[in-house]
Amino acid sequence: MPVHSPSLLDPPRASTTPPTPAETAVPGKSGKKGRPRRRDPLWARLTVVFGAVLMMTSGLAIVGSKAVISQATGSISQRNLLGDAGKTSAEGGADLKGPIDLLLLGVDARERWAADDVRADSIIVLHIPATHDQAYLISIPRDTEVQIPPFPKTGYPGGAGKINGAFQAGARNDGGWEGGAQLMAQTIKRMTGVSFDGAAIINFGGFKNVIDALGSVRICVKQEVKSHHMSYVDGKPMWNADAKKTGKPRTPVVHEKGCREMEGWAALDFSRQRYGLKNSDYDRQQNQQQLIKAMAKKATQNGSLTNPVKLNELIKAAGQAFILDTGGVSVEDFVFTMRGITGNELIMLKTNGGTYNARGNGNEALSEQTLDMFRAVRQDKLAEFVFYNPEVISSRK
């Protein structure tokens, strides 16, 4: 019973003219220097999945008053996920008038695993320019070799390693997911120079419920891939570990080429595959970015954001999947600031040209072009960079 898909998501398109100056213009608590004291959950509490904060912006303002928005977002967990990697007031961290940079982390945490033995296998930087009319997703390869800074909170002395291990090093010794996110953010800041306005952690286990609340999402499969995680038993999809326990015959889940509406389990399973793909984690990055965009588009197209009942279903599902952090602005201000951005304005970008850039030891390194792309993020000139380097745009054909 293969999973396949029939029509294409609209690929992001680069402008045909140079950009104008305006266009380029988990548990525990810890303190944060240089940033305003945290208030109630902000825009991040409306984040339905990773960068799908964009899902709210074009429709939520129609739903009702600021009081309605605040009431609907009261259950999503909030923590200090950035530590010293958060933007200071001098960097514009106190308001949303300038560019906005968010760190989005995906973890695969299952009940049988220890809370401090989890790595962040999806690492995404979401950049919104000061014009607030566009948004960009940049995935960082999980095997990128980095210098992870010391983290006194957990006694980690620092050292070289894969970037997804930074989360694990920060989470150990009672650091929790909060510590994991803080060390990850500090590691990325050291590597790229980018400071963050906010962050979100999503447990992939809760991802399915958010998609199911949307009904389905339209996903295009570029390369056929056999699932490394799931099989069918009596026609029903199951985790391989659970399927083995039944003792019954198993049929592999296969995601065939093409486009289709996928249920939550299928979309999630497809977005997690890397074995069997030509460019492994790089192809998985693009598939995960595609899923984020598909969710954003579905939410704005099916009326979920203008229907209070559907909106509350989405928020409830998100509350079971997210841990969030943001700076000192109100959720209402964020919604109205970002109301011009929809899924169609979400541009997916590739690191390292979408393929391997290995060091001699097998780990990955960021290419010069990718480092230039992060420099453009810091300078809020990403639109200009993309115009002159259109090959960095990811298209799911």
Of 86 and 76, more confident: 86
pLDDT in tens, 26-68: 333 333 444 443 332 222 333 333 334 433 333 333 344 455 5
- Render 327-378 in DSSP notation, one character per residue: -SS-HHHHHHHTTT--GGGEEEE-SGGGS--B-TTS-B---HHHHHHHHHHH
Give the pLDDT mean for 168-180. 91
Per-residue pLDDT, 115: 56
Least reliable range by pLDDT among 16-30, 122-136, 197-211? 16-30
Per-residue pLDDT, 129: 93
CB 312 within 8 Å of CB 75: no
DSSP state of 127: E
Question: Which band of pLDDT confidence, cut at 50, 70 and 90, is reported for residue 285?
Answer: confident
Of 36 and 304, more confident: 304
225 three-class SS: strand
Of 62 and 326, more confident: 326
Q: What is the reported pTM?
A: 0.73
Percentage of residues of the chain with pLDDT beyond 90? 36
Task: Report whether pLDDT(10) > 80.
Answer: no
Of 104 and 204, more confident: 104
Crossing angle, helix 308-319 and helix 204-214, to 10 degrees?
Answer: 170
Task: Report whether pLDDT(249) > 90.
Answer: yes
> 382 is written with which tokens?
């990403």
Query: What mean pLDDT, rounded, does the chain reach?
Result: 75
Q: Does domain 21-222+257-392 have CATH number 3.40.50.2000?
A: no
Q: Mean pLDDT highest for which of 57-66, 133-142, 239-248, 284-293?
A: 239-248
Per-residue pLDDT, 188: 96
Least reliable range by pLDDT among 159-168, 324-333, 352-361? 324-333
- Render 93-119 in DSSP notation, one character per residue: TTSSSS-EEEEEEEE---TTS-TTS--
Can you name the residues that pair with 349 across neighbouring β-strands? 138, 393
> 295 is written with which tokens?
């969710």
Question: Which band of pLDDT confidence, cut at 50, 70 and 90, is reported for residue 5?
Answer: very low
Residues contacting residue 185 through CB under 8 Å, at least 6 positions apart: 81, 82, 83, 85, 86, 103, 196, 199
In the block, tokens 């079971």 appear at 320
Percentage of residues of the chain with pLDDT beyond 70? 66
Per-residue pLDDT, 362: 73
Give the pLDDT mean for 153-169. 92
Give the pLDDT mean for 77-84. 82
Per-residue pLDDT, 135: 86
The β-bridge relationship of strands 346-349 and 135-139 is: parallel
Least reliable range by pLDDT among 2-6, 89-93, 199-203, 256-260? 2-6
Per-residue pLDDT, 6: 32
Cα–Cα distance between 20 and 218 in angstroms, integer?
33
Domain layout of the chain by residue ranges: 21-222+257-392
Cα–Cα distance between 385 and 136 in angstroms, integer?
12
Question: Which band of pLDDT confidence, cut at 50, 70 and 90, is reported for residue 155?
Answer: very high
pLDDT in tens, 372-392: 999 999 999 999 999 999 999
Task: Report whether pLDDT(95) > 80.
Answer: no
